[in-house]
Structures are given as structure tokens and as C-alpha cells.
Homo-oligomer: A and B are copies of this chain.
Amino acid sequence: MADAPSARVISPPGGVASAEWLAGGSGGADRLARLLPAALRGMAAGTAERGGPVPAGGPAAVAAALVQSAAGLPRHGVGAEQALEELSALLAAGSADPADPACAAHLHCPPLAVSVAADAVASALNPSMDSWDQAPVASEIEREFTTGIARLCYPDAARPDAVITSGGTESNLLGLLLARESAVTRPVCGANSHHSVARAAWLLGLPAPVVVPCVDDRMVPSALAEALAPLGAQAVVVATAGTTNTGRIDPLPEIAEICRRTGARLHVDAAYGGLALCSETLRSRVAGLELADSVALDLHKFGWQPVAAGVFAAREETDLQALTVRAEYLNADDDTEAGLPDLLGRSLRTSRRPDAFRMAVTLRALGTSGIGALVERCCANASGVHTMVDDHPALRSWGAPELSTVVFRPMTADELPGTAGDDLVAQVRRTLLEDGTAVIGRGALPTGPDGEAQLWLKLTLLHPHAQPADYRALLDAVATVAADLRTSVTRESPVAS
């Protein structure tokens, strides 16, 4: 091969000199450096314009702002700088920004700048993770990262493995799919499980999950044992380590033991709680995770990545062979035999963004100890805010947080009959959202006198630099708005008082 032409013969040819629009190639970094200031200028201006956690005025005001900006599919363009500055300003002004502590409804984290900067490089080079010749080193970086995550979940397993997903929803889908492919076709999950479990069963053509009762938002082991009795090894149990409503963690060791005894498979949805593994002090809360056949993780929750940053870990790498697929143009047998790594079977997607790159850069920057420290801060904040709720004259708490979720309810809602209390809770949330004060969450929990569902407010605390005191005004705002609404309810329908 001495006569093979060198790379330099072919590139960069003259035609590329006009490539002023491209992010990659020679000069790509300079072109990005010239364009990014317009985007960041717009972002800063829009953030200042918003001023708070979310734009005021609700959907109508936000939609009106867009009409004025005339986005859409124009026939002719305005150029890169103008488009970037204007639309970045629009996006920032109209966003619910989780970097503001008062934006605390969902498992929706404020991303780390280091991850965002890394993502820009990944976007510019655009490795696509479906074949080695589109992602030579990106695939190696991903493999090293997923191996690391697999070992974090399964420190004692001989051959654990993990793949990147678009989030907890796809990871739960994989949990049921791998079960289905080993002829385990009866999903069983707690009443506390995420809606994606039932949706995955529907997508895969499996029966709807058998739902196991919960107490205090945790699966009841004896009820699980009863549900499994007629199903045995046909069942795949989905337990939860960090529920969406309350952050509660199912009793994993007991659940794993019941699964072992009955021969059922076990998948744990640890999309929320999984990264507690990075903290020496919190790791024990998710003990038992290593007993699951598979685990869903999500670094766009604890992990402070922009969406998407899902991981699916399996205790046995051979389980992932269910994803194997052949496509002549991507992973021909002779290419694989010749040593080109086969990436196609690492995902249900084909083209795939290298989300592992920014996760790997983040871990390199902070270390697992740094991520663990941020998880600890959020959990400590939740404890602190829970205490503030308990001490508050107008609020009551649902229970002590296990992770970083604080669930509470204005006491005044309890004074209203029927569903009027729930209506009030829902209206408190919408009022704070629509006037731009705060973004807080909601969840139905079976706390009524006869176990019927009641609506609660929740704060999902993922701001790693906030302190409990940052949430005091928010709690007071909830109480004030609830009192105002109660007054108007009483005025409109005196019978309710």
C-alpha cells in the first residue's frame, strides 16, 4: 500500500474554501467562534427580558410573542447572525429556566455549562453512532463511558454492559423489550410507576401491566408476591428507584428476593435515583439496584445534562443481543470480521447523536465525586425545604423526602368539600405559572379519607447551587395565592365554606 494516496492529496480541495457555512472541517471552530456571540447575545437579552423563572402571561402571551417574530418556513432567509440573535432571544425570553430555583416542577435540570460546550463540539463534528466509519473515536468514548456506568450499577457482575438511550422512557422500553425477547411477556409494575412502563407495553404489543398496590408511594412486597404467584417466570417486574410524584424508592432488596424466588425478571426504573450511586453517603438508598436484570438511568435528571442523556444498563451483556440487527451498508459481516466494530446493535435508533460525549466530558470535569456532591446538595435542600413546610402555618407536608422532591399542600385546600380542594391546588399551581412567579409540579396521591386520590403540589429540587432559603418566598407565595383563591371560592359559592 506504499502507493496509496495520502489524505492530503484529496483534501482540503479548492471547493471547500467556500464552505463558510459549515461547522466542521478546517476553519470550522473559527466559524463557530464568529457565530456563537450572536446566539449568546440573544440568549442574554432574552433571559434579562424574562427576569424570572418563566414568562408571565401564560400560553396566550407566549404564542403572541411568536407571531410577532414570524418564525416558520420562510421562502427566503435573513442570514445566520440575525436568525440566531432574534430566535435565541425569543427562546430565552419564553423559556421556563431551571437555572432559576423557582422553576422546580419537574425532573428538568439546569444543565452544566461544561456539558453544553461539549455538546457544541459534538454537534459540529456530527458523529453518528450507527457505524464506526461515522464515529470512530466517538464510539470508543461511548463504549468507555457506558462500561463505566455499567460498572457503577453492577460493581460485582462479571459482564455488565450499558447502552445510551433518549431517556427513561426508552430505557424502560428496552427493559420490557429484552424481557419480551427472552419470552417474558407479562409486565408487572407498581401503582407508583412512570406512565412510560404501560406505554412501552402498548408499543411492544404486550398485555397492559399488572399493577401492584403501593403504600406511601412504595410498592408493597407482599402484594407483589401475590401478583407474581400465578405468573412466575413469565413476569417482568418494573420497580422504581425515585418515583416521579414523590421521589420514593421501592424496597429493592425485598423485591429482588421475591423475583429471584419466583423466577421473574426485574427491571428497575432508576431514572431519577440512580445517580445517587455517585454519592458515598446516599448510595445506600438505592441498595439492591445491583440485583436487577436491568436498570434505567437518566443523566438529564441528577447528572445535569441537557436532554437527552438516558442510559440502560444490563447485568448480563448477552441480554443486549436482542438488539442485534444487520444492515449491509452499516455492519456487513465481512467488515465486522475485518475488525470494524459493530455499533448498530447498540440502539433501537439508526442515526444517533453522541450524547455520551458530553456526559464523558462532564464526568471528566467533575468526577463521580463531583456529581455525587451535587446530588447531596439537592437532597439536603429538599430536607431543608421539607422542614420549612412542616414549620409553615399554612402548608402541610406529605412526608419526608427520600431524594429531592418535596410534596405539600396548602391547608386551606383541606377545608373545601369534595373536589374543590383539588381544584384549589390545581389553580394555585396554574396561577403561579401564568403570572410568571414559579413553576411548581403536581401529583395525585391516594391520601383521601377512603384512599381516594388527592392533588398535591411538589417541588423537584435539581438546582445544585440553591439553598433552602431560596425557596422560602415560593412557599409563602403558595400560601398567599391559596388564601386569595379560597376567599374568592367562598365568595362565589358560600356553601363551600
Q: Restricting to A1-20, which residues have a CB under 8 Å from any CB of B? A: 1, 3-16, 18-20
Q: Let me know if A496 is at the binding interface, CB within 8 A.
A: no
Q: Let me know if A395 is at the binding interface, CB within 8 A.
A: no
| Residues in chain B near residue A73, CB distance under 8 A | 145, 148-149, 151-152, 363, 368
| Residues in chain B near residue A189, CB distance under 8 A | none
Q: Is the CB of A79 within 8 A of B365?
A: yes
Q: Let me know if A335 is at the binding interface, CB within 8 A.
A: yes
Q: Let me know if A266 is at the binding interface, CB within 8 A.
A: no
- Taking the nearest CB of chain B, how far is it from the CB of A310, in angstroms? 8
| Residues in chain B near residue A426, CB distance under 8 A | 332, 334-335, 338
- Taking the nearest CB of chain B, how far is it from the CB of A407, in angstroms? 11
Q: Is the CB of B348 within 8 A of A203?
A: yes
Q: Let me know if A398 is at the binding interface, CB within 8 A.
A: no
| Residues in chain B near residue A74, CB distance under 8 A | 363-364, 367-368
Query: In the complex the two chains form, what is the Cα distance from A41 to B28 in whole Å?
Result: 11
Measured CB to CB, the nearest residue on chain B to A458 is: B329
- Taking the nearest CB of chain B, how far is it from the CB of A214, in angstroms? 15
Q: Let me know if A121 is at the binding interface, CB within 8 A.
A: yes
With A7-B102, A83-B364, A96-B127 known as contacts, the answer to whether A21 contacts B465 (CB < 8 A) is: yes
Copies in the complex: 2
Convert A54-91 into 0s and 1s, putting 1 for each residue whose CB lies closer than 8 angstroms to a CB of B. 11101110110110000111111111101110111011
Measured CB to CB, the nearest residue on chain B to A105 is: B133
Q: Is the CB of A351 within 8 A of B168?
A: yes
Q: Is the CB of B94 within 8 A of A140?
A: yes
Q: Is the CB of B92 within 8 A of A105?
A: no
| Residues in chain B near residue A218, CB distance under 8 A | none
Q: Let me know if A443 is at the binding interface, CB within 8 A.
A: yes
Query: In the complex the two chains form, what is the Cα distance from A463 to B72 in whole Å?
Result: 25
From A313-321, A386-394, A477-485, the one touching the partner chain is: A477-485
Q: Is the CB of B94 within 8 A of A7?
A: no
Q: Let me know if A160 is at the binding interface, CB within 8 A.
A: no
Q: Is the CB of A72 within 8 A of B22?
A: no
Convert A89-110 into 0s and 1s, putting 1 for each residue whose CB lies closer than 8 angstroms to a CB of B. 0111111111111100111111
Q: Is the CB of B52 within 8 A of A7?
A: yes
| Residues in chain B near residue A41, CB distance under 8 A | 29
Query: In the complex the two chains form, what is the Cα distance from A115 to B23 in whole Å?
Result: 9
Q: Is the CB of B88 within 8 A of A118?
A: yes
Q: Is the CB of A39 within 8 A of B117?
A: yes
Measured CB to CB, the nearest residue on chain B to A44 is: B29
| Residues in chain B near residue A362, CB distance under 8 A | 83
| Residues in chain B near residue A335, CB distance under 8 A | 426, 430
- Taking the nearest CB of chain B, how far is it from the CB of A484, in angstroms? 6
Q: Is the CB of A84 within 8 A of B365?
A: yes
Q: Is the CB of B474 within 8 A of A10?
A: yes
From A221-229, A230-238, A252-260, A352-360, the one touching the partner chain is: A352-360
| Residues in chain B near residue A293, CB distance under 8 A | none
Of A43, A60, A476, the most chain B CB neighbours within 10 A belong to A43
Q: Let me know if A205 is at the binding interface, CB within 8 A.
A: yes
Q: Is the CB of A72 within 8 A of B144?
A: yes
With A126-B108, A137-B93 known as contacts, the answer to whether A16 contacts B465 (CB < 8 A) is: yes
With A99-B19, A115-B123 known as contacts, the answer to whether A361 contacts B442 (CB < 8 A) is: no
Q: Let me know if A242 is at the binding interface, CB within 8 A.
A: no
- Taking the nearest CB of chain B, how far is it from the CB of A286, in angstroms? 17
Query: In the complex the two chains form, what is the Cα distance from A24 to B46 in whole Å?
Result: 11
Q: Which residue of B13, B121, B134 is within 8 Å of A105 (Cβ)?
A: B134
Other contacts beyond A28-B43, A38-B117, A74-B368: 4, CB < 8 A:
A10-B53, A33-B40, A75-B367, A87-B118
30 residue pairs from A and B, CB less than 8 Å apart: A1-B481, A1-B484, A5-B473, A5-B477, A7-B53, A8-B52, A14-B467, A16-B100, A16-B465, A19-B99, A24-B98, A25-B110, A36-B36, A36-B120, A38-B117, A43-B124, A73-B151, A74-B367, A76-B367, A76-B370, A80-B365, A83-B361, A91-B125, A92-B125, A96-B127, A105-B133, A108-B126, A108-B351, A111-B124, A332-B426
